[in-house]
Chain A
Amino acid sequence: MQRNGTNKDKPVSTTAAPRVVSVIDIGSTAIRVVIAEIHADSEWITLDRASRPLSLGRDVFLAGFLSSESMREAVAILKSFRELLQGWQIPPDSVRVIATAAIREAKNRDTFLDRVQIRTGFKIDVVEGIEENHLTYIAVQHAINDLRPQFARSSAMILEVGGGTTEIMLLQRGRMVAAHSLRIGTLRVEQQLQAPASLTSNDRVEEYLRENIRVNREVLNSELRLDRIRYFVAVGGDARIAAQRVGKKEGEHFSVIDRSAFERFLWELQRRTLDECVRELNLTYTEAEGLLPALLSYKLFMEATSAQQLIVPDVSIREGVLINFAVGRRGPMRQEFAEQVINSTVGLGRKFHFDETHGMHVAQLAVSLFDQFAEDHGMDEHARLLLEVAAIIHDIGNFIRASGHHKHGQYIVENSEIFGLSRSDIRILANVVRYHRGGTPNSGHTDYVSLRREHRMLVLKLAGLLRVADALDRGHVQRIRGFTLETQDEDVLLRCDYSGDISIEQYALRQKGRLFEEVFGFGVLAV
């Protein structure tokens, strides 16, 4: 049983009765379930776990489709999990079923989702690659909470090698400077080498991975000097297998493997056949097949850093989802999450040499406008975060050329990853950046038109606010430090705290305030 949270004794909740919840994770190599009890103080206890191997990833990464046998098997496993959950009398609204890369990339994913819902009643939530990162981060952060002071002083890499993707996060003094979901996975090795891992020589696997990872290492190095990284966090089942064999448990929720011990273990592994691995390490074939490519990937990334240990937390994306359950959308963890989103955004901006002072200032003004205008725009916390992110990097397109930079910015954002934000968040952001200046949307703008209706509305609202905030720093010299908002009959009046002459800003606002007026029905004036 795993105890979580700060209070190590069984929590005695006084308010609400504890709630039993479950997370089912349909991954590339297995379907897993975790059952936990969440107490009123957001602490949680793992009650039960189960997992069944199923190589959905092999189907999808090789053929693009889930085979009908795999679908049948998945349904059978989910039915058996449903029975397990019934034993705990867990109501349907306390169950979250998530699916990652294999399902995400399956061409017949809709058929699968539909079939599962009909046969088992489970509604699957397909998690986007970068969202996986976020959930993993939440879990990791929880597991290695004790190491927080060390992380705050130096750089760290968090790496999760999965069947379909490799999630990577770079932290500088505890701040998230980059997050990526790379399409490198233990099952993709097979796809790329056109042969099952079991038939491929270990050398070829290494050569292939080395080539792939080298390219990525260079990109990462531009975001954070990898050779300065002291902490290397390896997340995932394969890392846990290694930790069980050659690591030592240091915290309640993590183990540590010395780099040399890890390399020796890997070296021994490379000299064994698959059958020997299964026998000697007591693994299933599915586990054994993925183990070598996964551990090689860790090694190849670690080689670029100066870390001397692997920190292996005993958590996964499932615990991330559980924590989401436990803390809901509030609390200090949520706030820290928002901070990391911002950190990651700044990291992205720096990569494209953005005007950081202007970006941050506009973000501050935009958020202030959002908060003071809250009664009239009716948007939630998440929209606020998106606005802040969009404001920080609205001018990122200048990296290419000032002229048409809103369009270049849209392209850059569309093709970037920001920690904690989903694909659909990114698409919204790209549009907000696109419409922070220039023309307003029309039916010819396919990127806009292809959004869902409520997302199109969100883009308009956010762009409307962003244009106002951007106008208030038109001179890029932060003359307006802040403002108080007053709503008059048909106008919103911004009483500014400024120094110097703000006529440029006032002029800009007249131009850029039109969208605001169209969207919210108020004119906007700065005095």
Chain B
Amino acid sequence: MSGPYINRELSWIEFNGRVLSEAENAQVPLLERLKFLSIVASNFDEFFMVRVATVKRQHTLNKASTCPTGMSPKDQLTAIRARVTELSERTYRVLLDDIFPALAENRLVRVRRDEWDSEQQSFVKRFFRERVFPVLTPVRAMEGDSLSAVGNLRLHAAFLLEPSPEARAESVGLAAASAISETTTPADAERTDGRTTSDEPLMAIVQVPPSLERVVYLPTTDADVVAFTFLEQVILSEAYQLFPGFSVTEQCLFRVTRDADFGVDEERDEDFVEAMEQVIETRDRSDVVRLNINRGSQRLRRILTDALLLEEDEVYESADPLELRNLMDVVSIDGFAELRDPPWKSMPSPWVEEDEAIWDSIRKRDILLHHPYESFDPVVRMVQEAADDPQTLAIKMTLYRTSGNSPIIKALERAAENGKQVSVLVELKARFDEERNIGWAQRLERAGVIVVYGIARLKVHAKAMLIIRRERHGVRRYVHLGTGNYNDKTAKLYTDLGLMSCDDTLCYEVGRFFNAITGYSVIPGLQKLAMAPVGMKRRIIELIRREASRAQGGGSGLIIAKMNSLADPEVIDVLYEASRAGVEIRLNVRGICMLVPGIAGVSETISVVSVVDRYLEHSRAFYFENGGSAEVYLASADWMPRNLEKRVELMFPVENPDIRRRLRRILDLFFQDDTKAHRLLSDGTWHRIDAGADGAAAVGEAVRAQEAAYRRIRDRLSGDEPQNRQEFKVRRKPPK
């Protein structure tokens, strides 16, 4: 018996729908809503590049469905399109009818091109001439041309041109412009010459230059008002200046999304970096899977659709602004604090003393860090102190998505220069970060760091750091294991959990993990840790089954699991088994959930909630009641085949009982949330849990999990604070 399941792609779209619903949520400050819209858009970009591209390829190659629901690729594409179109309509409705007008009321005004006053118009002209024109590169593109040079996700303007009778002699203008274009091949140029005299429509495209700010601020009469437009509107408005001798008859904006789901040639070990660089180049030339276009010109829409070899159902037409990711630039505008969330300051961990070495703190007790409520600084400090500490022998760590100017990279460089052995596994295959990664990885290598550029056919997604120190009584090791990347930037935006420890066995096993991923050793058998792709799935299944057998034996069973996605059919089936055995299963799944809860005889005891709030929920934590002797694990992996079978991941136990209790309280919080949580119903739809609507749950104040988590830590009420035993609590009457 297996299933039922929800289709993975459709489940993912529902997640983006939940993000969108935060943008629609009138309780959320306006600029935050704008931010959610921008996130919805960039989420969809990645979804098309990776997921839709994959399904589309399955469809074109006539491959059998890999979806455990059995849904054919064709049906998936149809369903995807329908749902994406709905969400896109909702997106523009809330943006144009709700958010922009509301922002305008708050003196942040987006001014459409047809609304520019004369002063603004002359500002735009000057701005175009001085700032924009010099960096524009118009390219002539004939109908039927492949448009292969149009880069992935880059916003372009397209123009249809006609020679203007009074300036035919100057028709060399465009040819001159194409001649300076880097993207024009000699073949293009030849054809251009041959065709200028024909009657075919002339099309030119211009990339909106990525080097310029996308948001253009316009002068206003009222000093309290901030007015803005988008760069592409400036270009559309002034485009006629680009084509002397021609008049622009039609124009539009468009962007293409290309297939980014192709791997690097894994056989190339020696020159893997080079192979990776080629992948990055290819990404700008691969097949187009989507065309976004604004409502400027139906004729251009047809020409572009044909030229890109697309079907109509791969074209998504929308209002302006076409490029919603640019809204992020509006979000980051100075001022307007009243339109944003009140800041939540990251608190220092009460277990980390400022004025003692981090090692001393860790030796006292294991330390759990809950980011971003708790600061990421101790993790950075761990690397920095190790780098400068004469007792440190070696540092080993994995780096998945990290920025080159991060303090961690700098500390690692310094450590190597200080003569420590520094070994770093850099996952070059971290999608869309490859280019950045190659740069700083090579810099580390030059500093003397042993850099391992990943593992063939597997992505290393585990987040682990090991420091080896020589101390007075012998060698001691310290580990940090986490659910999030070693990236001080995302640590402020993603909720993650990290554990610092010097437990001998844990450190020993982390050491053996590093031996395996740096090529010193075969994959070891591990007791405390579980490692994907070798043992983690088996361990997870064992843990779920153990709960089931406890429940069957007359006891109770309880599983609480929090993850980003639940998509492994095998694990889902075991969860169904456990549910049938009577185990209570509470799942907190932020994104994709292929499990169907609440079906009689299958998943009656399973409930699924998802929280979408100001921080991206990113931590993975699994609680198993185990008949009263609870076990809690943290992991870098979701319960997806991708994580459990194609990546190197780590799952580690939390053994300190105080920390375990604290984690249980964190996990419980999400099921109390009636503000930012959605519940998955047995029909596969998601519904916002409403404080007012849900009778019994509405008693008392509404709960917002992230806010509650923040407050607990701010007010030192997480239940895991050090007890200062400086005095006894004496039971006596107060002295007279």
Q: Which residues of A approach B to under 8 Å, CB–CB?
A: 1, 3, 10-13, 17-18, 20, 30, 33, 37, 39, 45-53, 80-81, 83-84, 86-89, 244, 282, 284
Contacts and interface: CB of A to CB of B under 8 A. Distances in A.
Contacts of B472: 17
Contact of A47 (B423, B475, B525, B535): B475
Interface residues of B, number: 27
A1 B507 contact: yes
B342 interface: no
A52 B516 CA distance: 10
A50 B513 CA distance: 10
A46 B524 CA distance: 15
Contacts of B468: 87-88
Nearest to B506: A1
A282 B519 contact: no
Given A11-B474, A48-B508, A48-B511, 11 more contacts: A1-B508, A13-B473, A17-B472, A17-B474, A37-B474, A46-B508, A51-B521, A81-B520, A84-B515, A84-B520, A87-B394
Contacts of A87: 393-394, 396, 421, 423, 468
Q: Interface majority SS on A: helix, strand, loop or mixed? A: mixed
A33 B450 CA distance: 20
Contacts of B515: 48-50, 84
A257 B524 CA distance: 22
A241 to B, nearest CB: 9
A1 B504 CA distance: 6
A502 to B, nearest CB: 59
A284 B522 contact: yes
A18 B396 CA distance: 23
Contact of B512 (A17, A48, A88): A48
A285 to B, nearest CB: 11
Interface in B682-712: none
Contacts of B450: 83
B534 interface: yes
The 6 A-B pairs at the shortest CB distance, nearest first, are namely: A50-B521, A1-B508, A87-B394, A1-B504, A87-B421, A18-B474
A88 B475 contact: yes
B421 A49 contact: no
Nearest to A14: B473
A46 B393 CA distance: 17
Contacts of A47: 475, 508, 511
A271 B727 CA distance: 68
A53 B525 CA distance: 15
B85 interface: no
A244 B512 contact: no
14 contacts: A10-B474, A11-B474, A12-B473, A33-B520, A39-B474, A47-B511, A48-B512, A50-B515, A51-B521, A52-B521, A80-B519, A84-B515, A87-B396, A282-B534
A48 B450 CA distance: 19
B656 interface: no
Contacts of A81: 520
Contact of B394 (A45, A88, A282): A88
Contacts of B505: 1
A87 B472 CA distance: 18
Interface in B515-551: 515, 519-522, 524-525, 534-535
B112 to A, nearest CB: 62
Contacts of B474: 10-11, 13, 17-18, 37, 39, 45
A104 to B, nearest CB: 24
Contact of B520 (A3, A50, A244): A50
Interface in B383-406: 393-394, 396
A86 B422 CA distance: 11
Given A48-B515, A49-B515, A50-B515, A244 B525 contact: yes
A49 B393 contact: no
Contacts of A244: 525
Contacts of A48: 508, 511-512, 515
A53 B522 CA distance: 7
Contacts of B512: 48-50
Nearest to B393: A89
Contact of B521 (A18, A45, A46, A49): A49
Contacts of A51: 521-522
A61 B449 CA distance: 41
Nearest to B508: A1
A10 B508 contact: no
A48 B505 CA distance: 11
Nearest to A18: B474
Nearest to B524: A49
A398 B50 CA distance: 85
Nearest to A38: B474
Most A C-beta atoms less than 10 A away, residue of B396, B470, B474:
B474
Contacts of A12: 473
Interface in B474-529: 474-475, 504-505, 507-508, 511-512, 515, 519-522, 524-525
A121 B423 CA distance: 22
Given A1-B504, A49-B515, A20 B473 contact: no
A12 B471 CA distance: 12
A10 B473 contact: yes
Nearest to B450: A83
A1 B476 CA distance: 11
B522 A37 contact: no
A511 B472 CA distance: 63
A282 B520 contact: no
Contacts of A1: 504-505, 507-508
B522 A52 contact: yes
Contacts of A86: 421
A1 B470 CA distance: 16
Contacts of B524: 49
Contact of A88 (B393, B504, B507, B508): B393
A13 B473 CA distance: 7
A244 B535 CA distance: 14
Nearest to B394: A87
Contacts of A284: 522
A81 B511 CA distance: 14
Nearest to B477: A47
Most B C-beta atoms less than 10 A away, residue of A12, A37, A46, A89:
A89
A3 B511 CA distance: 16
A16 B29 CA distance: 65
Contacts of A13: 473-474
A29 B4 CA distance: 46
A95 to B, nearest CB: 15
A84 B504 CA distance: 19
B109 to A, nearest CB: 60
Nearest to A10: B473
A284 B522 CA distance: 9
A95 B473 CA distance: 21
A1 B501 CA distance: 14
Contacts of B525: 244
Interface in B407-442: 421, 423
Contacts of B508: 1, 46-48
A74 B423 CA distance: 22
Contacts of B507: 1
Nearest to B505: A1
A18 B473 contact: yes
A49 B505 CA distance: 13
Contacts of B396: 87
Contact of A80 (B394, B470, B520, B535): B520
Interface string B341-356: 0000000000000000
Nearest to A81: B520
A217 to B, nearest CB: 33
Contacts of A17: 472, 474
Contacts of A89: 393, 470
Contacts of B511: 47-48
B472 to A, nearest CB: 8
A83 B473 CA distance: 24
Nearest to A12: B473
A219 to B, nearest CB: 36
